[in-house]
Amino acid sequence: MLSQSIASLLCKKSNLSYLIFDQSFNILDFNEELVEMANDKNSLKFSADAREAFWEFIGIEQEITKLFKSHNQKSFEIPMIQKKDIFYNVEVEIYEQNKSKRVLIAYFRKKSEFSLKYANAIQEINKKTLIFQTEQKETSTQKHYYDLINKKLLSFYVDSDGIITQVNDTCSLFFSKDKEMMIGNHFSYFFQTRESNIAQSSVMRAINSEGRETLFHTNIIALQKDEIIYENLIICQDITYIKQVEEELKFAASNDSLTGLINKNGFLKKVDELIHKTDDETLWLCLIDLSDFKSINENYGRHAGDMLLKHLSRLLKSLVRDGDIVARVGVDEFAILFNKIKDEKYLESTINRIHETKDSSPLIYSANDTIVFDFKLTSSCYPKDADDAKNLILESKKLMRLKKQKNRVS
């Protein structure tokens, strides 16, 4: 049975809900907060199919297969799932319990209120525009205005069974298929939705003729006759770029814009994640403090200082393994987390190589200016010196202050 400690601790700390299941979607574990979010609460139980409790998981079988086959990809995201008027992102991550057993953990994370406001605004605009245009019956037909207002919006009609009865030009163009080829097919042949009832506003995915995946926020308007719904008009607004902006903002929140390294917040988070996942393994954190960085800015200018920071960041990344983490944690401070150190000789040799860069790799700033730099380096160890990322850095800083005091005395 999968240990619950890692998932429970992470979720409690970050106010997340989680669901653990295997490749066949059999539920292995979940936390209590998830029960209220399930589409079918009775299906949220051990050994049940996760897709029965969360219809949003229908259609992600290929993504999960990719996870199990990939050596690089460890997770994927299902964006904008709506639960009780709140949008969530769901991150599905593969977790290796041991060499013979791997499972999946789905984290449910609330989206910002701004994303929700945007989605609601688009939905309202589409609906009002459609109503306005279709009411102009004296000037043209409903179909004419339907195509007119949707010339940049993908839209189509489905009957009560989900069969496509009409598509607009944009929809036909998106898939590079004649309308006749689409009409008569079930909408799921072209679109993947995460709602069991198409009459609800939701998010759909579709892949166009060029293989590009697009996310659509859909506004679904029921068409009634004698109080009976006979068709649904579905208007799709491309929200893929919102996802791209969110990823850029997410990157900016945890990465340093100058060097491209992760920043202090991102570093602390990654280190704590590794600590919670490690099995009695030693982690080493090295803190690197540039000496007299202020004087470099004063003597050569701020641009030279920026170039030195980028230069040093590239050097540090070139000297460590892929699994190690290099970060900029202060104006003139860098940190390296050496992950899974089994032989301290590797750590010692790497630190020696880092020290050697001070003499072997000065910054060639211009034809006339070569900037020689110096730094001090200290290290701390998990679990010997501290039990979390913040205290590991504090321990290294403490050692750094002692080293500076010693140098001043000497």
Unique residue bearing structure tokens 């170039």:
307
Smallest Cα–Cα separation from 220: which of 249, 244, 243, 193?
Answer: 193
Strand partners, 90: 78, 108
Q: Is 108 exposed, middle or buried (0-12, 13-18, 19+ CB in 10 A)?
A: buried
Q: Where are the domains of the chain?
A: 5-110, 114-243, 255-409
* Cβ atoms 309, 323 nearer than 8 A: no
Cα distances from 188 to residues 161, 206, 247, in angstroms, run 11, 9, 28
Distance between CA atoms of 343 and 117, rounded to whole angstroms?
A: 52
pLDDT confidence of residue 5: 53
Decide the pairing of beta strands 17-21 and 101-110. Answer: antiparallel
Smallest Cα–Cα separation from 106: which of 192, 27, 205?
Answer: 27
Per-10-residue mean pLDDT for the chain, 410 residues long?
A: 51 73 90 82 86 81 85 80 74 79 85 53 51 44 49 81 88 91 90 64 79 83 74 81 65 81 88 78 86 89 89 92 89 88 81 89 88 90 84 85 69
* Cβ atoms 168, 147 nearer than 8 A: yes
Q: Which CATH architecture has domain 255-409?
A: 2-Layer Sandwich (3.30)
Q: Which fold has domain 114-243?
A: Beta-Lactamase (3.30.450)
pLDDT confidence of residue 326: 93
Distance between CA atoms of 308 and 296, rounded to whole angstroms?
A: 9
Distance between CA atoms of 333 and 348, rounded to whole angstroms?
A: 20
Farthest CA pair distance, the chain: 94
User: Cis before residue 383, ω within 30 degrees of 0?
Assistant: yes
Distance between CA atoms of 109 and 91, rounded to whole angstroms?
A: 8
- Tokens representing residue 80 in the block: 């904008």
Cα distances from 179 to residues 169, 183, 218, 366, in angstroms, run 8, 6, 20, 62
Q: Is 63 exposed, middle or buried (0-12, 13-18, 19+ CB in 10 A)?
A: middle
The three-point CA angle 301-303-307 to 5° equals 120
Q: Which fold has domain 5-110?
A: Beta-Lactamase (3.30.450)
* CATH topology agreement for domains 5-110 and 114-243: yes
pLDDT confidence of residue 137: 43
Distance between CA atoms of 137 and 146, rounded to whole angstroms?
A: 12
Distance between CA atoms of 61 and 23, rounded to whole angstroms?
A: 9
Query: Which ranges in 293-384 belong to alpha helices (H)?
Result: 293-300, 302-319, 344-360
